[in-house]
Structure 1
Amino acid sequence: MTEFVLVAGAWLGAWAWDEVAPELRAAGHGVHPVTLSGLADKRGVPAGQQTHVQDIVDEVERLDLRDVVLVGHSYSGIPVGQAAERIGDRLARVVFVDSNVPADGESFLSAWPTGRPVVEASIAENDGFWAPLTAADYGGQGLGDEEIARIVAGSTPHPGATLTEPAVLARPLGDLPATYIKCLLDGAEPGPDVAALLTDDRWRLVEMDTGHWPMFSQPHELARVLLDATGPVRSA
C-alpha cells in the first residue's frame, strides 16, 4: 500500500484535494492531505519556508508512514522537494504537479524574477502575506465558474516569509525518483530548471491537457496519474 501525502500550492489547504483523495483511497492506498502552517485551518500560525518543510516531514514521521509518495502542487513543490530528501528510505517517489522545484540557496521569488516585484508589493501591502488571486485570475485554466468560486472562497493569504526564504538541499534534486506533471494550459513546456532535471533517468514527465489547478479542473484524471506514479507512468 502506498501512502500519498498531498500538499497544495499557495493560498490552499488540505481541502483542495477533496475530489482526488477518495479515488486514491478507493484504490487501497493511504491518503494524507496536509495543510501547511499559516494557511486554511492553520491560519495565524507563524510560518517560513522551513516551517512548511517540517510540516510535511512531521506528518510522515508522526504517522510512521512508509512507501510514501509526496505530492507537491505549484509553490508546494519547493517544500515537498526538500522534505523528500529528509524522509530518507520512507520515500517511494515525489510528484511535482505543475510546480516550482527547489534549488539550494534559492527562494520561490528568486526563481521567479518576472513575478517577484508584484508578489513583493502584495506582501508589503498585506501585512507580510501574499494576497489570494481573484476570480478573474483563474481564466483560461480549464475551470468552470463553480470550481473558481470554490477556490476563491477557500483561499487564505499566503505567509510571505515562505516565499523569500532559501531552500536547503543536501544533495542534487535529480537524485530523487520523481514524476513531473506539466499542465499544458499553463504553458506547453516545463521551465528550464525542470527540463534539466528531466534528463535524468529517475525523472518522468506526464502531460495533462488542463490548467494549473488540476485537482479542481480534472480531479479524476489527476487521481489516475497519481496512481500511475506508483508504477509505470502514462500520459493523461
Structure 2
Amino acid sequence: MTQYVLVAGAWLGAWAWRDVEPGLRAAGHGVHPLTLSGLAEKQGVAAGQRTHVQDVVDVVERLDLRDVVLVGHSYAGIPVGQAAERIGDRLARVVFVDSNVPADGESFVSGWPDGRAAVEAAVADHGGFWPPPAAADCADQGLDDEQIARMLAGATPHPGATLTEPAELKRPLNLLPATYVKCLLDWPEPSPAVAGLLTSDRWELVTFDTGHWPMFSRPRELARILLDVAEKDV
C-alpha cells in the first residue's frame, strides 16, 4: 500500500486536497494531506523554510510511513524536495505538481527572478506575509467561478520567511526518483531548472491539460495521475 503525503502550495492547507483524496483511498492507499506551519488551521505558528521541511519529515516519521509518495504542489515543491532526501528508504517517489524545485542555497524568490521584487514588496507591505491572490489572478487556469471562490475562501496569508530562506540539499536532486507534472495552461514548458532535472533517467515528465491548481480544476484526473505514478514503482 502506497502512502501519499500531499502538500499544497502557497496560501493553501490540507483542505485543498479534499476532492483528490477519495480516488486515492478508493484504490486502497493511505492518504495524508498536510498543512504546513503558519497556514490554514496552523495560522499563528512561526515558520521559515526549514520549518516546512521539518513539517513533512515529521509526519512521515511520526506515522512511521513506508513506501511514501511525497507530493508537492507549487511552492511546496521546495520543502517537499528537501524532505524527500531526508526520509531515506521510506521514499518511493516524489511528485512535483506544477511546482518550484529546490536548489541548494537558493530560495523561492531567488528562483523566480521576474517576480522577486513584487513578492518581497507584497510581504513587506503585509506584515511579513504574502497575501493570497485575487480572483483575477486565477483566470485562464481551467477553474470555474465556484472553484475559484472555494479556493480563495480557504486561502490564508503565506509566511514570508519561507519564501526567502535558502534550501539545503545534501545531494543532487536528480538522483531522487521523481515525476514532474506540468500543467499546460499555466505555462506550456517546464522551467529551465526542471528541464535540466528531466535529463536524469530517474525523472519523468507528465503533462496535464489544466491550470496551476489541478486539485480544484481536475481533482479526479490528478488522483489518476498519482495512482499511475505509484504503479510504476511496484
TM-score tier, shorter chain, comes to: over 0.9
Q: Give the corresponding residue for 1:182.
A: 182
- Equivalent position amino acid for 2:158 in 1: H
Residue 67 of structure 1 corresponds to which residue in structure 2?
67
- 1:90 & 1:157 partners in 2: Cα distance? 32
Q: CA deviation at 1:232?
A: 3.4
Aligned position for 1:34: 34
1:56 partner amino acid: V
- Aligned partner of 2:120 in structure 1 is 120
Distance in 2 (alpha carbons) for counterparts of 1:78 and 1:123 = 19
Q: Give the drift of 1:172.
A: 0.2
CA distance in 2, matches of 1:202, 1:225: 17
Aligned-pair Cα RMSD in Å? 0.8
1:162 has 2:166 as partner: no
CA distance in 2, matches of 1:231, 1:203: 15
Q: TM-score, normalised by structure 2?
A: 0.99
Q: Which runs of 5+ in 2 are unaligned?
A: none
- AA in 2 matched with 1:10: A
Measured in 2, the distance between the counterparts of 1:5 and 1:232 equals 17
Structure 1 residue runs without a partner (length 5+): none
Aligned-residue sequence identity (percent) comes to 76
Matches of 2:133 and 2:227, distance apart in 1: 30
Counterpart amino acid of 1:49? Answer: Q
Give 3-state SS (helix, strand or coil) of 1:229's partner: helix
**Which residue matches 1:223?**
223
Tell me how far 1:22 sits from its aligned partner.
1.0
Match for 1:79: what amino acid? Answer: P
Task: Find runs of 4+ consecutive structure 1 residues off by over 2 angstroms.
Answer: none
Aligned equivalents of 2:201, 2:87: Cα separation in 1: 21
Aligned residue number for residue 91 of structure 1: 91
Aligned to 1:57: 57
User: Post-superposition shift, 1:18?
Assistant: 0.1
Cα distance in 1 for partners of 2:186, 2:136 equals 15
- Shift, 1:231, TM fit: 2.4
Deviations 1:32-52 (A, max 9, x none): 000000000000000000000
Q: Which residue number in structure 2 is paired with residue 11 of structure 1? A: 11
Establish whether residue 25 from structure 1 lines up as the match of residue 14 from structure 2. Answer: no
Looking at structure 2, the residues matched to 162 and 25 of structure 1 have their Cα atoms a distance apart, in angstroms, of: 31
Distance 1:88 1:14 in 2: 24
Identify the residue that residue 172 of structure 1 maps to in structure 2.
172
SS at match of 1:185: coil
Report the residue type matching 1:20 in the other structure: V
SS in 1 for 2:24: helix
